[in-house]
Amino acid sequence: MIKQYIKNYLTGDQVTLRKITKADYKFYSNIEDVMESRLLMNDGIPFPPTDADHEKFLGEISSEKEDYMFAIELKDEKVFIGTIAVYLVNWNNSTCHVGISVGPDYQEKGYGTDAMKVLLDFIFGYMNVNKVKLQVFSYNKRAVSSYEKCGFHLEGTLREELFRFGKYHDIFVMGLLRKDWEMNLIK
């Protein structure tokens, strides 16, 4: 039984989640430098980060800080296609936040949904977390659809929270409870 869990650990139908290595830094920078992606996931001023910014960010990720970031790799081809993370873990309330970034060449192929399902298995199967939360820009329809496929529910709307493309947009707050995740496993 344990061998089966180890075999499937951090592995989905299409992707594997693994640690990020220095060899990934260049690929990470290439993905994070795509302005369309930055406009879909980053609420800061969309100024292109430098390679040093990327390296500093990746170098500061540590499980000691209770941030868990994984590389997303295609299972068969062993190709780095993005990152996925657990952060802001609140052990008192048993909650955490998640985020994902998939390179443009690999979007709309189900890889992000598969990666999120693997991450949720990690969170609910190996961490003592009851609720997973995320925020997504209202105009990022592909991401909203993917999160719904993973079982997330809309919990609220931060109205006109984000200024992009010359106007204000809403940010959706979504959540997934352990009991709902477990119900989806039974189906």
| Range with lowest mean pLDDT among 22-31, 79-88, 97-106, 145-154 | 22-31
> What DSSP assignment string belongs to 133-149?
EEEEETT-HHHHHHHHH
Looking only at the bridges linking them, the beta strands covering 153-164 and 80-90 are unpaired
CB-based burial label for 70 (10 Å; 0-12, 13-18, 19+): buried
pLDDT for 157:
98
**How open is the CA angle 87-26-89, to the nearest 5 degrees?**
5
8-21 residue pLDDT tens: 789 999 999 999 98
pLDDT for 114:
97
Instruction: Give the separation between CA 63 and CA 140, rounded to whole angstroms.
Output: 29
CA 2 to chain centre: 27
pLDDT for 39:
76
61-89 residue pLDDT tens: 766 778 899 999 999 999 999 999 999 99
Average pLDDT over residues 26-36: 84
Instruction: Give the separation between CA 11 and CA 19, rounded to whole angstroms.
Output: 13
pLDDT for 6:
64
The reported pTM is 0.89
